[in-house]
Every structure is written in structure tokens, then in C-alpha cells.
Amino acid sequence: MNRLPIGIQSFEKIRKGYVYIDKTKIINDLVNSGEYLFLSRPRRFGKSLLVDTLRCLFEGRKELFTGLWLEERWRWEEVFPVIKIDMGGLVNRDLKTFSNSLSKEISEIASSSLDIDLSFDSHPKDMLKTLVRRVSKNRGQQMVILIDEYDKPIIDNIERPEYAVEIRDYLRSFYEVFKGLDEHIRFFFMTGVSKFSRVSLFSGLNNLRDISLYPAFGTLLGYTEEEIMENFSDYLEGVNLDEMRYWYNGYNFLGDERVYNPFDILQFLDTKKYQNYWFKTGTPSFLIKVLEERQEEPDIPGIENSELSADLLDAFDCYTMPIETLLFQTGYLTIREEIEEAGEIYYTLELPNYEVKQSLNKELLFSYLKAGDRKRERGRRRSLWKAIREGDMEAFIGVIEALFAGIPYSTVNLSRYEDYYKSVLYAFLMGAGLEVIAEDITDKGRMDLSVRLPEVYHRDSPVVILELKVVTKKENKALRQIRERGYHRKYLDRSCFLVGLEFNKRTKKLYSAWKKA
């Protein structure tokens, strides 16, 4: 039984005793689709392995492709010199250190792979220009250029905005060199997480084609469910497929199928334990910083189901672009649907799976909204699940009251009081692993929140309908609105509870009332 390729980024290594899902047909289509290509995907999605696969392919390593789709379909007699630069592996404390590290990387590539000695005296872009032209002259061949994690030097310094701009401008100057080397380049491929606009980073490389949302390459990275069933059958014994799908499937890059994050699913198949593997490798501290610096109204429930134009989805400037764009490009949101309307393309977005839903909302609750208590989170989660399962609304409301009682008064901006509490409640319930629908639509209007236990675990879970109001005195408006508009009729097929919550703006006291439908 071949081993699970956890963390393997070397194509040569993965082909020696590890499971490899054959993506070479799509890779062949990729290579034949253009000369200058760019692909963005979230972190831990297999970009580095793809880049190394391309390196081995162009270097003519036929023995590594034995049994794969491309083995009998590639022109192995055509071997190309390759320059592969991993921007994520460079030292990046300051601009001078980074520049020296990049120069050293180019020098080592030249000596170890291309048998050329380069001087350290010049700028890295001049070194690269010299290298490409010298190889082209000596060998009479065009070259293949592969740039992995082109944006990591910037992303790693998002919390140092002045340096992030400095390193961005430096990289823009460096990447411009490739435009002038066009006649010497057979194939150019660049990967990254973000999609910085051409104006900010790629103004000099305007022939770069972004294939990130081309349907033909939607499943190039990540694993489809069919691929998992075919290739990891030895590891699926005893696995509840519905549960696995609920936790880790769901990323949509406009291919024929949604895909699993490979880092997640490989870790799960190894341990058979449902955990937040991907999220734990890089909590979005930079995202929290961006939110705090913008001082925008907190609309956490509105993040999911948001709609963006294609232009806004492609933009990347942390401090000006919509927060939904940042969440999409970093993997916390994915595409639900592509909409074409009057010559424009729009995308509706959603959280991809259960792992991201609960993990992101917990982080937003604790770090951005400054609510909740990490030490008490597990106990409150159990209490909520038990209360819903047993229909104990007094216990359910009690957990919410304890949550809000622990929020420092200074945290809440009274001008956005209702939005703040609605965001806190939504993030708290989602972070507790419950199924929550914000602005749940009925034929009589929209309820603020509907809440239930996850269907994959409790198919007949009761539904709790929540309405929130900000008041100056107790009025029972919230519960009355639910009853008068008959929101509960949407869920006549199961047990349903109506809960009205009213926050006193002056005293910060929570009034509650509930009724079984």
C-alpha cells in the first residue's frame, strides 16, 4: 500500500512509494494553453508540487511519469533548461536581506542546474537576464521559467504595510525583466495565493494570462471525490463519506466538480479524526488586522452569500479591496455560483465546508469582535448542542446571556449596536459548529437567524428561529414579529422554537422570550 503524500512537494519523491493522483492530462492541457500563465490557489493546495511536476516534465524525466497519462503522449526528446524559483523559501527580514537571498537563489540555480557561474555584483533581475541569455546562446534553446509563491514575500509582511509596499515595488521591478526575455522563453508559469492587480505588480508583465478560474483547470489542484475514492480506497475503511464530505469538500474553482483541500483530506485519512487541519496551519491574523484598521461596520453574517463582480474578485490590495475578495483569495470563501448578466459576470460566495465555517467564525468572534472566551468555548458548545437537541430553550438562552454578559461595555460602538450583536451571535453559533442561516428567507420576509444541529449528525434536529432587536425598554417586539409573520411555517416538518432577543441600548440588558411553534 502506497503511503499518504502528506507535505510532499517533490514530484520525484511522491513517485517513489506515495499515492499520486494523476493530473497529467490537465497538466498537458495547461502547457498547451499558452506561454505565460498565472494560477492562484489558497495555501496548502498543492501549488508547489504542480510547479515541481512541470520542472520534471520539461527536463525530460520520463521515468517519473511511468504509468501516467502523459507517458506515451509527451515529446520526451525535447528537453528544456528550467529556472524554478521558490519565492516562499527566501529570507525576508528586510529588503537588503531579501535581495541577497534572491541573488543567491539565482546563482545556485545557474551553477547546479545550468552549469553557469554568475557574479553577485549585480541586481537579481540583471543576474536573471544574463543567465537566460547565456543559456539561450550556449544551448540554442528557449527556457522554461517557473515562479512558485510569487506573492509570499508580500503576504508575509501584510502587517508591516510600509515594507509590504516596498517589497511589492521591488518584485514589480524584478518581474518586469521577463517581458524583455520573451524570445528566450518557451513557457512561463507563476503561482500564488493572491491576485495583485496588473497595475500594482504586473504592469511590466502584461502578457501574463490568469487561468485561476478557467473551468478546464478547476480540478487541476485539490482532489475530487471520485479521485479520492479511486486512489485512497485503502484508507477509507470505516469512514463515513457524508461526514468526510461535509467537513472537507466544497472548494469551487469553476471546474466540473468541487474539490477537497489536499492538506486536509490527507491529514484526515491518516488520523481518521475530524479536526481543523488546514486552518491551524495559518490563522488569519493579517485579516483581523485589516478589519480593525478599516473600522468598518461588523457584518459577519453578510460575508457568506455576498456577491462580487469578476473585477472585484480579481483585485488584491489588502487595504482597499472588499473583505470578501480577501477571504476568497486566501481560501476562506469559495464560489457558490457564477452569474452572467447584461455582459457582466458576478459570483456569489460561500464558506466552503464545515472546517472553515466553525474555525473562521471562532477566530472572528474572539479576535475581531472581542467577544467570547476561548477557555469556555468547548463547554458552551456542548451546552448549545444539548439545549437544541433536547428543546431546552431556557438553557439555550442562558448560554447566549452568559456570552453577552462577558463582553466589555467599551467594546461596543453604540452607533452600530444591533449589527455588532447580530454579528457576535452569528459568529458564536457558527463557531460552535451549528448550522446557521442568516436572513433566512420565507414568503413573509426574512428571519434574522435560523439555527439547527448539523444535518449530517442530526437529520431531525429542531430548528430555533431567532429575531434580534435593540430597544430602550422591554417590548417583546422580536418574538411578536416571528409569530405575526409566521416564519416558523417554513419548518413545519420538524420541531421548531421561536426565540426573541431584545438588547436594551441604555442598560445593556438582554431580554428574552420564547415559544414552541
Q: Is 418 a domain residue?
A: yes
Indicate the helix (H) or strand (E) that contains 307: strand 307-309
Please give the tally of structural domains in the chain: 3
Same domain, 376 and 431: yes
Query: What number of H helices and E strands is found in the chain?
Result: 20, 13
Strand residue runs (E) in 365-472? 435-442, 445-452, 463-471
- Cβ atoms 212, 244 nearer than 8 A: no
Range of the domain at 378: 369-516
12 burial type by CB count under 10 A (0-12 exposed, 13-18 middle, 19+ buried) = middle
User: What tens-digit pLDDT sequence spans the chain (517 residues)?
Assistant: 899 999 999 999 999 999 999 999 999 999 999 889 999 999 999 999 999 999 999 999 999 999 999 999 999 999 999 999 999 999 999 999 999 999 999 999 998 888 888 877 678 999 999 999 999 888 889 999 999 999 899 888 877 878 888 998 899 889 988 888 989 999 999 999 887 654 466 666 777 899 999 999 999 999 999 999 999 999 999 999 999 999 999 999 998 899 999 999 999 999 999 999 999 887 677 777 777 776 666 678 888 888 888 877 776 666 677 888 888 888 999 999 999 988 889 999 999 999 999 999 999 998 888 887 788 888 999 999 999 999 999 999 999 999 988 887 666 654 466 788 888 999 999 999 999 999 888 887 888 999 999 999 998 899 999 999 888 877 788 899 999 898 888 998 889 999 999 988 777 788 899 999 8
Q: How far is CA 441 from CA 448, 454, 470, 489, 509, in A?
A: 9, 19, 21, 12, 29
Q: Determine the pLDDT at residue 80.
A: 95
Same domain, 191 and 108: yes
Query: How is the beta sheet containing 435-442 ordered, strand by strand?
Result: 435-442, 445-452, 463-471, 496-504, 510-516
Q: Of 337, 352, 367, which closes a domain? A: 367
Same domain, 302 and 408: no
User: How far is the C-alpha of 458 from the C-alpha of 243, rounded, in Å?
Assistant: 12
Same domain, 163 and 233: no
Q: Is 1 a domain residue?
A: no
C-alpha cell read off for 407: 463582553
CATH number for the domain that contains residue 477: 3.40.1350
Q: Determine the pLDDT at residue 198.
A: 46
Q: Is 289 a domain residue?
A: yes
